[in-house]
Amino acid sequence: MTQRRVAITGLGLVSPFGGDLPDFFARLLAGESAVHFLQTDDVPRPLAIPFVSCPGFDADAELGKPLAGTMDRFAQLGTAAAYRAWQDAGLSRGQPAESRENWGVSWGTALGGTLAYEKGYKELWIKGRERVSPLSVILGMNNAANAHISIQLGLGGVSMSHTVACASSAIAIGEAFRRVRSGEAPVMLTGGSDVPQAYGVARAWEALRVMANCDEKTAAQACRPFSAERTGLVLGEGGAALVLEDWEHAVARGARIHGEMVGYGTTCDHSHLVRPDAAGQVRALNMALADAGLTPADIDYVNAHGTATAEGDPVEIAALRTVFGEAAARLAVSGTKSMHGHQLGAAGAIEAIITVLALREQAIPPTAHLGEPDPACAGVDHVGSGRPQQLRAALSNSFAFGGSNAVLAFRAVTP
Amino acid sequence: MLPTMDSLGLIREFLHNRLGVPSERVVADAALVSLGVDSLMMLELMFEFEDRFGITLSKDLKSPKTVGDMTALMDRLRQAKG
C-alpha cells in the first residue's frame, strides 16, 4: 500500500502564559517559566503546590455558554485548543464544500473529567445530598473532549480517546498519523488535554513523592529536568491540538505546512508500573526512527520527556546514549517541562507542538534552570539556554507510568 | 394557590445562568427547544426543580414542550406537595 506523506497544517494550544502560539514559543526560547505556587481554600488542608495554570482562559467566551456548560474543564481546554488549531489550518467550522465523513479525531487524556466526579463526591459525602447532577456522566467521561470536537467540527470519521498516562496524547498523535499516512483519513485533528487540579488527584500525586519541592518564592524554578539539583515534577493543566493532513490534500488547498510528521514508535517496558526501563525506551526510539526512514545521524534535537524525577531522567538519557551511540554527544536535548510543567495527558501534544516549532523556527528552547547537569544524565548536549540551530529532524519523547513509551518523529520543511 | 412567577422565575434564572437566554424570551408559549433546552438540559432543569422545591419527579414523566407546560407542571407538583 502506498504511504501518504503527512503534513502538519494546524497548531493550537491554550497557553500557560495566556498569550498566543508565537508568544508561547518566544517565552520558551527565552527560558521563561509559567510555574506558579498554587494555594487553594480546600479544608481541612489546602493545596500548596507548584502548578501551571491557563490564565485568562474563558470557556464561556471562547466556546459559548451553552456548550461550555456541558463540558468539564478538560474538554473545554481541549475543544478550545482544537478550535485554535483548526483556525490555524485555515479550515472552516461552518458547512464545508467537501465531505468530512472520513476526517477524524484522536485525543489523549490521562484523567478525563475528574473535576466533575470530584464535585459529585463532594455533593454526596460532604454536603450529604442523595443525588448528583444528571450531566455528571457526560462531563466526566474520558471521550468527552474528542466527542465534542467531532461534533463541533463536523467530523464523521473515527473519534477516539487514548488514556495512557503521560503518553496519552503522544500516542493519540501517533495513531492519528498512521490513519493519515495509510490514506484512511485525509485529515485528523489530534492532541490532548488534562486538568490535574482536582483535590484528590493532586493529593494522589503528592503521595507518590514525585512533586518538586518549593515555596512561593522558588516555584518558578521548581522543575529542573536533568539537573543535579532536581527535586521532582510540576503538574499543570492544558490543552493542545495539531491538524495532521495528507500532504497532497494540504498542498491542493494551499495550506501552510508547519512541518512533516514522519515516524512513530510505541512500546511497553513490560517490567514495572512506575520504574522506567531504558530497554523499552530504546525500542520505541528505534521503532520511530525506522518508521521515519531516518538514522540517529539525521536527528538534530530531542524534546525529552524529562519530568525532573530522580529515576526517570537518567533512564531517558541512558536510552538516548544507547540509540545514538557516538552521535549522542552532539545531540541537542531539552526538557521543556521546566517551563510549561507536566500536563499529563496533554504533555505529549504540547511538546509535539514545541518540537514542530523548533524545526520551523530553527531554534531550540532550553531546559530552564538546568544549572549543573546530573552526572547520571551526561552524554548528550543539554541545551541550557535557548539558541538558534540548524535542525533537519527531531524527536519528541513521552514515557508513561505503566511502562508505555511513545516517540514521535518530525522533519523540517524546506522553504 | 402558589404564585406562578416562582416557577417561571426559576426557569428564567436557570436558562439565563446555563444558556445565557434573556429573561424576556422565556414566556409561556415559547417552546423549550427553541430556547436551547435539549434532552440533556431538560434533565438538568428537572434536577434543579427537584432540588429547589424538594420534589421527586417520576422517571416516566413526559417532558413538557413549552415554558407554560413546564410552569404548570411545576406548580401542580408543588401544590400537591403542599
Annotate A254-313 with DSSP letters as a single string.
T----EEEEEEEEEE--S-SSS--HHHHHHHHHHHHHHHT--GGG--EEE------TTHH
What pLDDT score was predicted for residue B60?
Answer: 80
* List of chain A residues whose C-beta atoms are within 8 Å of the C-beta of residue B43: 134-135
Q: Classify A242 as helix, strand or coil.
A: strand
State the ipTM, two decimals: 0.80
Catalytic residue of the set A342, A369, A377, A382: A342
pLDDT band, residue B56 (cuts 50/70/90): confident
Please indicate if any CB of chain B lies within 8 Å of the CB of A136: no
Of the candidates A191, A152, A187, the one whose C-alpha atom is nearest the C-alpha of residue A9 is A187
pLDDT band, residue B1 (cuts 50/70/90): very low
Catalytic site includes residue A342:
yes
In angstroms, the separation between the Cα of residue A115 and the nearest Cα of chain B is 18
In angstroms, the separation between the Cα of residue B24 and the nearest Cα of chain A is 18
For chain A, the average pLDDT equals 96
The answer to whether residue B3 scores a pLDDT higher than 70 is no
For chain B, the average pLDDT equals 87
Residue span of the structural domain in which B76 resides:
4-81
Of the candidates A300, A277, A308, A302, the one whose C-alpha atom is nearest the C-alpha of residue A373 is A308
Closest chain A residue to B15, measured at CA: A66
Give me the phi and psi of A281, to 5 degrees please. Answer: -70, -40
Q: Classify B64 as helix, strand or coil.
A: coil
Please indicate if any CB of chain A lies within 8 Å of the CB of B22: no
The answer to whether residue B42 scores a pLDDT higher than 80 is yes
What pLDDT score was predicted for residue B61?
Answer: 81
What pLDDT score was predicted for residue A348?
Answer: 98
Please indicate if any CB of chain B lies within 8 Å of the CB of A66: yes
**CB–CB contact B20 A65 (8 Å):** yes
Matching CATH topology for A6-252 and A262-411? yes
Instruction: Give dist(CA A207, CA A358) in Å, integer.
Output: 35
Name the residue among B19, B20, B47 with its Cβ closest to that of A134.
Answer: B47
- Residue B23's CATH number: 1.10.1200.10
CA dihedral sign of residues A345, A351, A357, A360: negative
Contact by Cβ (8 Å): A222, A285: no
User: A399-414 burial, b for 16+ CB within 10 Å, e for fewer?
Assistant: bbbbbbbbbbbbbbee
Instruction: Give dist(CA A33, CA A30) in Å, integer.
Output: 9
Number of A:B CB contacts under 8 A?
Answer: 26
Catalytic site includes residue A268:
no
Pick among A127, A133, A139 to test the B interface (most B CBs inside 10 A): A133
Q: Per CATH, is A262-411 categorized as 3.40.50.2000?
A: no
Number of domains forming the structure of chain B: 1
Give me the phi and psi of A2, to 5 degrees please. Answer: -70, 130
What is the fold, at CATH topology level, of the domain defined by A6-252?
Answer: Peroxisomal Thiolase; Chain A, domain 1 (3.40.47)
Rounded to the nearest 10 degrees, how much is the dihedral formed by the CA atoms of A109, A398, A21, A389? -170
Q: Where are the domains of chain A?
A: 6-252, 262-411
* List of chain A residues whose C-beta atoms are within 8 Å of the C-beta of residue B44: 133-135
Please indicate if any CB of chain B lies within 8 Å of the CB of A170: no
Alpha-carbon separation of residue A208 from A5, A43, A202, A205, A234 (angstroms): 42, 21, 10, 5, 13
Q: For chain A, which residues score pLDDT lower than 70?
A: 1, 415
Alpha-carbon separation of residue A34 from A51, A210, A335 (angstroms): 8, 19, 14
**CB–CB contact B43 A66 (8 Å):** no
The answer to whether residue B4 scores a pLDDT higher than 60 is no
Instruction: Give dist(CA A345, CA B33) in Å, integer.
Output: 36
Instruction: Give dist(CA A32, CA A338) in Å, integer.
Output: 9
The answer to whether residue B45 scores a pLDDT higher than 50 is yes
* List of chain B residues whose C-beta atoms are within 8 Å of the C-beta of residue A133: 44, 47
Catalytic site includes residue A148:
no
Structure confidence by residue, pLDDT tens digits, A98-153: 999 999 999 999 999 999 999 999 999 998 888 899 999 999 999 999 999 999 99
**CB–CB contact A135 B43 (8 Å):** yes
